[in-house]
Amino acid sequence: MSYAGPVQDLVDELGRLPGIGPKSAQRIAFHLLKVPPDDALRLARAITVMKERIRFCRRCFNVSEAEECGLCTDARRDATVVCVVEEPKDIVAVERTGEFRGRYHVLQGAINPLEGIGPEHLRIRELFARVREESIAEVILCTNPNLEGEATAMYLSSQLKPAGVRVTRIASGLPVGGDLEFADELTLGRALEGRREVD
Ligand SMILES: [Zn+2]
């Protein structure tokens, strides 16, 4: 069965969000139906404002309010070292360690053949362009310690090494199969510090 048009529309939209199944979508929709209009509209406004103001940095593809993000424009950061991550949230995880003062490049995903995601679907071409055009001496592969993250790191190192840039991978010791964002600062900090040249 389905609900009155507008309710069903919201249930359908919520159900499209990652990690939200039909039951949760229904629960959230009915919750929003019950709360005062201001409370519900605040959520709608937050989404609208985010979509209007936030874009991706044209250099590193981090989220940004300007053409280039604050990390790319910060002259105190070391432009010769670039930490490659899968998602903007991974930058937050690395920044929390306080161990990294270089720049970033966000791939916006990882290679995943089962889901049809190949290198051409990620910001890999843009990374190669940066390695060619900027004075980058080291690329740290900081993709997640799971199957997709490892496959992505392998692919990137095979493509980057012939370009003559130093390619390193964060040390193992991170929980395998996990996401960077779930690693505590100390563990991730050690993994960064203990990074090794990729053979
Ligand atoms: Zn940036």
Per-residue pLDDT of 65-109, as tens digits, reads: 999 999 999 999 999 999 999 999 999 999 999 989 999 999 999
Which amino acid would we find at residue 104?
A: Y
Which amino acid would we find at residue 155?
A: Y
Q: Judging by beta carbons within 10 Å of its beta carbon (0-12, 13-18, 19+), is residue 176 exposed, middle or buried?
A: exposed
The tokens for 96 are 């929390």
Q: Which residues contact 164 (CB under 8 A, 6 or more apart)?
A: none
Distance from Cα 92 to the centre of ligand 1, integer Å? 13
| pLDDT at residue 40, as a whole number | 94
Q: Which of 96, 184, 180, 97 is nearest to 141 (CA)?
A: 180
If DSSP codes are grouped into helix, strand and coil, which group holds residue 119?
helix
Distance from Cα 16 to the centre of ligand 1, integer Å? 29
Q: Kindly compute the dihedral angle of the four CA atoms of residues 25, 26, 31, 32, in this order, to the nearest 10 degrees.
A: 70
| pLDDT at residue 2, as a whole number | 75
Whether the Cβ atoms of residue 92 and residue 71 lie closer than 8 Å to each other: no
Instruction: Tell me, yes or no, if the pTM score tops 0.75.
Output: yes
Which residue is listed with tokens 């496959």? 151
Distance from Cα 169 to the centre of ligand 1, integer Å? 21
Sort residue 135 into left (φ over 0), alpha (ψ -120 to 50) or beta: beta
Whether the Cβ atoms of residue 63 and residue 88 lie closer than 8 Å to each other: yes
What are the backbone angles phi and psi of residue 157, rounded to the nearest 5°?
Answer: -65, -40
Which residue is listed with tokens 């095979």? 158
Residues of the chain with pLDDT under 50: none
If DSSP codes are grouped into helix, strand and coil, which group holds residue 172?
coil
CA–CA separation, 113 and 115 (whole Å): 5
Distance from Cα 43 to the centre of ligand 1, integer Å? 27
Distance from Cα 123 to the centre of ligand 1, integer Å? 13
| pLDDT at residue 189, as a whole number | 85
